[in-house]
Amino acid sequence: MNYVSFGRRTGLRVSEIALGTGNFGNGWGHGAEPDEARRIFEGYVEAGGNFIDTADGYQAGQAEVLVGELIASQRDDFVLASKYTLGARPGLGVSATGNSRKNMVRSVEDSLKRLSTDHIDLYWAHFADAHTPIEEVLRAFDDLVRAGKILYAGLSNFPAWRVARADAIAELRGYVPIAGIQVEYSLVQRSAERELLPMVEALGLGAALWSPLGGGFLTGKYRSGDTGRLQGLGMLVHTEKSARETAILDALFAVAEEAGRTPTEVAIAWIRAKAAASSTALIPILGSRNRAQLDATLSVLTLALTPEQVARLDEASAIELGTPHEQIASVSEALAGGVPERLLPRALPVA
């Protein structure tokens, strides 16, 4: 596995694939028991992975406990990321959820105890709430960095306009910069291409991409009748409900047959092709439930799709960009002074 800097704003070196630990434990009534979680972790480390992503709420706190145990003997070899916002268990109440400074400080202390460490390398606000001003979040992040509790800060599942505003405020006020974002992205969920991914390209943020297999949809198993995660985290799983989803699976299966690989490998290879063409770090997060799933996914490290194959997958999974992108595209020739073929693009997009 190769390593990249997590965006142009940091020197943080992370592996090109991250390990998500939402399945570490059984606090949700489903997931990997400790022995299986260890097997997943060991397989990831054997492949060269160093970027571990967890959250206080994963498996009602069990995931953080297991991660802490697994990395204890080599803590400094790993980039450890965790999140706060929802709390470690349901029913905590209004003071123990959300993005307030109060909840952030309480949450980071609790996570440090569960993780058995004195610092978290990358700390995410897990979801945007509708109450906490971004200035409060940024100042609290900055205080935690100065206190040595966290090293980097990021925003997960935030709209682009809030991330961009946070980035500008942090720069103007001298706070710790926003290192990156975390967002769902896959062949079946490409809406991040409207605003979020162009933003990270222009601002130089890193992007950690969750659910790169659409909750298992892109493995093709639901087409064959497997219920899988539909019985557990069904709200995170895509299904074949429209002509677009059918076209995606058809193209995915065709490319997989050509390449002599599985649909799983091709789906991840498509994201890796996007990452290779990016000016910043796009890191897929693997959320395997067992070692066999992990091994079947990590085999993508030896697969490179052809440009023609990537283009076919792009076409099958294309989304409408909507306003104002379609209007901008309609006047692209005029914007280029009538000579778009001679106006060379910038090496990096402008913000």
Counting Cβ atoms within 10 Å, is residue 133 exposed (0-12), middle (13-18) or buried (19+)?
exposed
CB of 312 within 8 A of CB of 304? no
Give me 65's structure tokens: 């406990």
Look up 58 and say whether it is catalytic: yes
Give me 191's structure tokens: 């809406």
Furthest C-alpha separation in the chain: 63
Q: Which one is catalytic: 3, 44, 58, 185?
A: 58
User: CA 80 to CA 208: how far, in whole Å?
Assistant: 13
Give me 139's structure tokens: 């100042």
Q: How far lies 306's CA from each of 75, 85, 166, 298, 309, in Å?
A: 38, 41, 38, 19, 5
User: Can you say whether residue 87 is alpha, beta or left, with left for phi > 0 and alpha for psi between -120 and 50 degrees?
Assistant: left
Catalytic residues: 58
